[in-house]
Amino acid sequence: MIRGLPGVLARIDELRALIDDPTGAAQPKAAAAPAQITTTATTPSPLGVTQPGQFGALLSRAMDAQSATGAQSATGSEAAGVSWKTKYDDLVSRACERYGVDKRLVHAVIRAESNYNPRCVSHAGAMGLMQLMPENCKDYGVSDPFDPAQNIDGGVRHLKDMLDGQDTLALGLAAYNAGPGAVRRYGGIPPYRETQNYVNKITGWLAEG
């Protein structure tokens, strides 16, 4: 088994040599002087296979992806604990008092939206603890959606507007998740699996006490 980054780099050099000289005449470079990892962007084939000589870039991307995955896992694990909720409780309390929104509801929304990860970014571009879209940031004067104080303040204001514009809590949550236009278009909770799960999840948490 190849152990450690130097061993991996040495193996990459051996593979490069085999590709460049299939006859095996060329000798691989010594393990003591591994090649520097290149970070030049490459365009992979549909199967994700790069051309000879691009192993370094492939390894670099793989290492970056692994590091990102590890960071996300660590963040998710920490966010699931009480410490994250406690950390932001004061900001949530102040915003809820300021705008007249139920504190338990806001905590449930943050849990559903980002699981208390202030750096969370969705595939649609929603950002931060309460997953504000760029247009929400503009509407509520949020200059940095990754700043917990700004995100919670803008998110609570946005949540209040969605609740005030609907007849029930469930419809207000659906509007927060899918947009008020979708709620109007379907005359209720939109038939989106994500939105329906979102509403059921939050109302279920609130019912648990």
CATH number of the domain within which 113 lies: 1.10.530.10
Q: What is residue 203's DSSP assignment?
A: H
> Which member of 14, 97, 113, 208 is catalytic?
113
Q: Mean pLDDT, to the nearest integer, of 23-38?
A: 42
Same domain, yes or no: 57 and 95: no
Q: Give the structural domain span for 31.
A: 4-43+50-79
The answer to whether residues 183 and 175 touch, using CB atoms and an 8 Å cutoff, is yes
Same domain, yes or no: 124 and 180: yes
Using CB atoms within 10 A of its CB, is residue 74 exposed (0-12), middle (13-18) or buried (19+)? exposed
Domain boundary among 79, 96, 129: 79
Same domain, yes or no: 65 and 129: no
Same domain, yes or no: 125 and 196: yes
Tell me how far apart the alpha carbons of residues 38 and 57 are, in angstroms, rounded to a whole number. 5
Q: Mean pLDDT, to the nearest integer, of 205-209?
A: 92
pLDDT of residue 112: 97
The answer to whether residues 158 and 139 touch, using CB atoms and an 8 Å cutoff, is yes
- What backbone phi and psi angles, to 5 degrees, belong to 127? -130, 145
Q: Mean pLDDT, to the nearest integer, of 121-140?
A: 97
Q: What is the pLDDT of residues 1-10, one digit of tens each?
A: 444 545 545 5
194 is a catalytic site residue: no
Return the higher-pLDDT residue of 26 and 129.
129
pLDDT of residue 51: 43
Tell me how far apart the alpha carbons of residues 45 and 83 are, in angstroms, rounded to a whole number. 44
Same domain, yes or no: 98 and 182: yes
Same domain, yes or no: 129 and 146: yes
Tally of structural domains, the chain: 2
The answer to whether residues 148 and 91 touch, using CB atoms and an 8 Å cutoff, is yes
pLDDT of residue 83: 75
Same domain, yes or no: 126 and 185: yes
- Indicate if the alpha-carbon torsion angle 68, 124, 191, 159 is positive or negative: positive
